[in-house]
A and B are shown apart, each in its own frame.
Chain A
Amino acid sequence: MENKSAKGWLYLLPAIIFLGVFMVYPLIDVFVYSFEEGYNSASQTFFGTGLYNYSYILHDPYFLQAVKNTFILVVVTVPLSTLIALGISYGLSSIKPLRELYQTVFFLPYVTNTLAVGLVFMILFRKTPYTDGLVNLILGLFGVSPIDFIDGPYWAKMFVLCFYTVWVVLPFKILILTSALASVSEDYYNAARIDGTRPFRIFRKITLPMISPMLFYLIITGFIGAFKAYSDAVALFGTNLNAAEMNTIVGYVYDMLYGNSGGYPSYASAAAIVLFSIVLTITCINLLISKKHVYY
């Protein structure tokens, strides 16, 4: 028996070493840095230990802006994208002709480069001295005066960011949900039909509970993904996100490390730890809720 478990550990060794060196050790390091004031990675020196780094970032307006942006992004895009994906997958599973064509169309954003798509969104939304952009032209038809979505008011920029994020995360969710819907046995629907169940009740009482494990999986990973958003904002608004008021927490961490005002690994570590604790808390809450509502 002991021999067996030794063998087991031996097989696990490569993975444990790899994860230890590249995941666990850096994590602990970040945690340590976040308490070391004025840590310099070149000279590996610091002035003292304490909560100063946390105090600094929590009083930094750029960080607070980033937290606000991230929360708006999470609260808007996760439920919205999940609902839209559910609607589209339900539609896809209800039609026979052209289903594969539509599936391909909905999956395209997944295999498209983020930055290329960001460029396309800029062309759609940007207002320049030469043109108001496609979206403004369409809005103009309804008598709305042109809005600068990229360099204009905060809500307009936030709208574009949310719109873009939803669009980018949809394909994966649609993929997962269509396969979840397809795995619900036809017999359940037949049984419900025999009993004269109306379509809405079938959806609410049978379809939804049956795909609930997948739905919760998507919500949890959706939350985590949205909290870690960064590249989407860069694709739309460029690298100087603080100036555009569009920074996210991950963006703030990056700026603190490498940005123009960068070179502060201690502040970056503190911000990263704050993000980590937020994500951990939300994920725990999600898991607790899902335990109550998912039966298998």
Chain B
Amino acid sequence: MKVVLSHLTKIFPARGRGSAGTVAASNLNFEIPDGELIALLGPSGCGKSTTLNLISGLQKPTEGKIFFGDDDVTDLPPENRGVGLVFQNYALYPHLTVMDNIIFPLGNLRGKERMSKPEMQKKALEIAKLVQIDGLMDRRPSELSGGQQQRVAIARALVKMPRVLLLDEPLSNLDARLRLQTREEIKRIQRETGITTVFVTHDQDEAMSISDRIIVMKEGVIQQIGKPQEVYDSPANLFVANFLGTPPINVFSASVSGEKLHIGGSAVLDVPNAPDGEVWAAIRPEGFIPDENGPLSCRLGELEVMGRDVSVVSFSDYSVNEKIRSIISSESKIDLASATVKFSLKPKKVFLFKKDTEERILFDIG
């Protein structure tokens, strides 16, 4: 089921006199192709959960329309939209067993769709097998681990075969190891059912690893939509560049003159067709190449070895971040006794942004 949001705006009314309302979502326009897994990504308070609630129907938009396929569902109450929603805290009914939790939505069906109890149980067991909790059907939620509860919540959302599956921060209550496992699970379940899925997260790792497409939001406004790798390789503005990637991108205060990028007086990179002026230069950690004759010189801090990666911590007066982190291959030699480290840069890993609007400035890559 294709999902289309068109000029969707949500303004929460102001509390108290004199203060303006809060714009949680501002003029959102996007289309989710049938069967895709989409991540709504952004820091807390960016309007991603609101957007999810608008799609589910729990909240009404101030303006704009929502379509599922060709149906306009903007004015439909949640129960008539055919959505499944997994809550951040799962919201499993604590007094019901896993089985009863999963068949709860089926008990609401009326008329022709009404099922007998054995039919419901059969259906619930099918879904439980899909999410691999069929051995736990008689337990109560309090007797399950976080990951198992999560699966029950997904099973409950899936049992009515919703047209759209919505997940609100599905992994935030799990520990790190379980989070890795569960995100693979979500991907697998989504692939097997083929249900269009939207999930909300503030964790860029999560979004990058399992989604077909990510939507980066900030303060209710969409910053960029695209495939994870595209967004990473070509951020539309400084916010997106900063938000994606671990370790975070390194931002320098720099300038362009004569198609050359200058950081602290030395020309560090050729930037053909870039206009002259003050810029932010953002360099991915993997964009640094240790080079004795390299143009970018930084004060050397220390080496951090994180498994297979070696990260060089260095400092520069022109860096916006306190520390500059660059990831280098472990073969590269760094002279720890030296006070400075010199780098040359990979042009594809360097992005320029306007100082005022923080929008991207493109340059030709030779």
Q: What is A's interface to B at a CB cutoff of 8 Å?
A: 185, 187-188, 190-198, 201, 205-206, 209-210, 212, 295-296
Contact = CB atoms under 8 A, between A and B. Distances in A.
B30 interface: no
Question: 3 tightest CB-CB pairs across the interface, nearest first?
Answer: A196-B79, A195-B105, A187-B91
A296 B94 contact: yes
State which size class the interface on B falls in: 20 to 34
Contact of A190 (B91, B93, B95, B104): B91
Nearest to B57: A194
Given A195-B160, A196-B108, A201-B108, 8 more contacts: A191-B85, A194-B56, A194-B57, A194-B78, A195-B108, A197-B79, A201-B107, A210-B94
A296 B142 contact: yes
Nearest to B53: A190
A206 B100 CA distance: 12
Nearest to A193: B78
B95 A295 contact: yes
Interface string B45-58: 00000000000111
A126 B66 CA distance: 65
A201 B94 CA distance: 16
Contacts of B83: 194
Interface in B2-45: none
B89 interface: yes
A195 B95 contact: no
Contacts of A194: 56-58, 78-79, 83-85
Nearest to A293: B95
Contacts of B87: 187, 190-191
Nearest to B56: A194
Contacts of B94: 210, 295-296
A204 to B, nearest CB: 11
A46 to B, nearest CB: 55
B91 A185 contact: yes
B142 A206 contact: no
B79 A187 contact: no
Interface string B132-156: 0000000010100000000000001
B80 interface: yes
A141 to B, nearest CB: 45
Contacts of B85: 190-191, 194
A180 to B, nearest CB: 14
Contact of B58 (A190, A195, A196, A201): A190
